[in-house]
Amino acid sequence: MKGTVHYEVRGQSALLSIDNPPVNPLSSGVRQGLFDGMTQALADDAVKAVVITGLNRAFIAGADISEFGAAATAGASLNDVLNLMENSEKPVVAAINGTAFGGGLEVALCCDYRVAVRSAPVGLPEVKLGLLPGAGGTQRLPRLIGAEAAIGAIVSGSPIAAPDALKLGIVDQVVDEDVVSAALAFSDQIIDSGSPTRKIRNLTDKVIADRERQDLFVQAAANLDQTHRGQFAPAQILKCIEAAVYSDDFDAGMAVERSCFGECLAHPQREALIHIFFAERAANKIPGLSKETPLIDIQSAAVIGAGTMGGGIAMCFANAGISVQIHDNDPEGLQRGLKVIEGNYARTVAKGRLSQQAMDERMALIQPAATLEAFGDADVVIEAVYENLDLKKEIFTKLDAIMKPGALLATNTSGLDVDAIAACTSRPEFVCGMHFFSPANVMRLLEVVRGEASSPQTLGTAMALGKRLGKVSVMAGNCPGFIGNRMIGGYSRQANLMILEGATPEQVDSVIYQFGLAMGPFAMADMVGLDLGWRARKMQGGSNEITARIPDALCELDRYGQKNGLGYYRYEAGSRAPIPDPVSLEVIERVSGDLGYKRKAFSDDEILKRCIYPLVNIGAQLLDEGHALRAGDIDTVYVNGYGFPSHIGGPMWFADAQGLDQVLADIRRFHEETGDDAWKPAPLLERLVAEGKSFASLDA
């Protein structure tokens, strides 16, 4: 059995300490240990109360996620434990020493009182795994804090800092340190005062008052379309909370929760989301890099380029409490960049998500540097200038002369040759790619690009730094576009070919939106600006790619996208909502005709496959070449960097769910129909189908 619970008597109380490192999930051994500990405490007349706490760095991280979908384990169930706690006539106090998430908070909600250390977050994040709190959380939290706050907490799944939990009434006391002593003192007080136990199931005031709020659930359901489009669990959560509010019988509400939890558990979205949870963590484990690999100690950083990217990266360092210098070869650009950073922080302060003091501290960590020479002592430098290999080479030549020995030299290139850049230095082993996604202070993904000479120390430091900056880091090999941009190249190309062949931008965009992405390729192109690619192509003397013909033709008519209200779509002044435009359709039909296409109708199914299967085929090539280490890494990149819906699990997981034989058959058909080499099936895909295997089987 995994995990255990230590039992000791301290004064008048039994202290149960959960021990299941590193984060104390409720594995079978923990459940049994809690059950045995409670039984022992209840049987001992000398014990007047029970205090439950966690060893290691959490209170309880929730149910053991690896048990979902696996065979049932022996021993006490969580329900057995919670029933003992809730029926106990001796008061039970939770000493929340660290993270109390999911089933962990539900254990605490079965206690009579909760004392938390200030640094401990609590929350019910099950929705992020396609689940709902299935151990009474949907019934007890509304009784404790009211339906509106409970909906906010459970539907978002967001962590709640202990001081906020105190304000909401989720915890009864917050202490700065030694939460166990505080909880023991708390339980002594209850015993001495003869205060009764306090069972949340018996609290009814809040839910009865909520019955007057007719609009609460209608409004919450309407919001789901904005916040959780296409997801199954959130509506089930509302159903459970509604049962908590409108049912006088606590057990009837629990029955609704049990049934809805079962439906979530059986839903494919649950499996996809749990796949992403474990894939994000597996991505951190790099073969050949052990925990013992010595890392560069990063105390200070430097960023070159104060544009959107460089500014965002500097904010990432400041947000993590690391001092960072920023340089731009254009002094006005540097000042502009600093103003943008300040504006970004000010907006967060205005929204109440950051205190003015925290903003001031972060701004103070960001120091402008007039020259590159000022960077000499920094432990890491990240170059974030525009995508021009010659410029990057020039910068790395200078950095080699300036930076102290042992510093990490990283380029934020989104697809250029990291080895060519490293070769300009006398220390290519200290060079790697660190590809942030825009806006860098918001997007969670970081591709760490392994150059041929990058040392384990360099790569380990870049991965660890990513974690410190709050990123999900994925290791990518050094090939054009790395993982993400190489794949999206295939997706965009097919979308552009389809509008030449007869589809319309709105048809393609609508299919991709329905699939779950925030926007389709053409709305996205309008947002980015069609003129960027057009100008770049003109500077290179034009492009022979037929997929560039339509955007070039649109730009020739001054249709640059959202920025001037006309692109693939037209936009009303002040609005970002794309409106289909017959003028752009005329342009598309003209170019298509000039190129000799006979326009044909597309089904939605065909459009989806033409867009998504290039991701799968290129993903398989990346795996075969070793440029991606795992299928799960590719899914992690796509979900965190490209808005692929996490409840579909990423493109490789999606392909497995379709059946790889079906995917391969379609790819072969596209290859035959178009003669386009891009559709040549990846050898790995063919091998997997021949062997009856899946992408997931490669990671197992």
User: Under the rule (CB under 6 A), what is the footprint of ligand 3H9?
Assistant: 22-23, 25, 58, 61-66, 78, 99, 101-103, 106, 125-126, 129, 131, 133-135, 137, 281
Least distance CB 71 / ligand 3H9 (angstroms): 16
Phi then psi for 99, rounded to 5 degrees? -45, 125
The Cβ of residue 404 has, within 10 Å, a number of other Cβ atoms equal to 10
Catalytic residue selected from 67, 89, 126, 257: 126
Least distance CB 699 / ligand 3H9 (angstroms): 13
226 Cβ contact list (under 8 Å, min separation 6): none
122 Cβ contact list (under 8 Å, min separation 6): 96, 99, 100, 101, 105, 108, 116, 159, 160, 162, 165, 170, 171
Question: Can you give the three-state secondary structure of 643-670, one letter per residue?
Answer: CCCHHHCCHHHHHHHHCHHHHHHHHHHH
Least distance CB 104 / ligand 3H9 (angstroms): 7
Looking at the Cβ atoms of 135 and 487, the one nearer to ligand 3H9 is: 135
How many CA atoms lie within 13 Å of 84's alpha carbon, on the beta-carbon side? 19
Least distance CB 157 / ligand 3H9 (angstroms): 8
Looking at the Cβ atoms of 254 and 508, the one nearer to ligand 3H9 is: 254
Q: Is 126 a catalytic residue?
A: yes
Q: Pairing between strand 366-368 and 113-117?
A: unpaired
Least distance CB 199 / ligand 3H9 (angstroms): 19
Residue in 9, 236, 257 with CA at minimum distance from that of residue 139: 257
35 sits in which H/E element:
helix 28-43
Least distance CB 261 / ligand 3H9 (angstroms): 7
Dihedral angle sign, alpha carbons of residues 627, 628, 629, 630: negative
Going by the DSSP 8-state scheme, the letter that residue 287 receives in this structure is: T
The answer to whether 232 touches 269, Cβ cutoff 8 Å, is yes
Least distance CB 160 / ligand 3H9 (angstroms): 13
Q: How far is CA 304 from the centre of its chain?
A: 27
Residue in 482, 432, 491, 485 with CA at minimum distance from that of residue 626: 482
Distance CA 690, CA 661 (A): 9
Q: How far is CA 405 from the centre of its chain?
A: 35
Q: Is 106 a catalytic residue?
A: yes
Looking at the Cβ atoms of 105 and 384, the one nearer to ligand 3H9 is: 105
Looking at the Cβ atoms of 134 and 311, the one nearer to ligand 3H9 is: 134
Looking at the Cβ atoms of 96 and 618, the one nearer to ligand 3H9 is: 96
Q: How far apart are the first and last CA of the chain?
A: 22
Looking at the Cβ atoms of 64 and 656, the one nearer to ligand 3H9 is: 64
Least distance CB 62 / ligand 3H9 (angstroms): 3
Catalytic residue selected from 86, 106, 257, 447: 106
Looking at the Cβ atoms of 31 and 493, the one nearer to ligand 3H9 is: 31
87 Cβ contact list (under 8 Å, min separation 6): none
Least distance CB 285 / ligand 3H9 (angstroms): 7
The answer to whether 154 touches 132, Cβ cutoff 8 Å, is yes
Residue in 91, 99, 138, 94 with CA at minimum distance from that of residue 20: 99
Looking at the Cβ atoms of 90 and 270, the one nearer to ligand 3H9 is: 270
Dihedral angle sign, alpha carbons of residues 331, 334, 336, 342: negative
Taking CA 557 as the corner, what is the angle to CA 556 and CA 559, rounded to the nearest 5 degrees? 100
What is the per-residue DSSP string for 388-420? -HHHHHHHHHHHHHHSPTT-EEEE--SSS-HHH
Enumerate the active-site residues.
106, 126
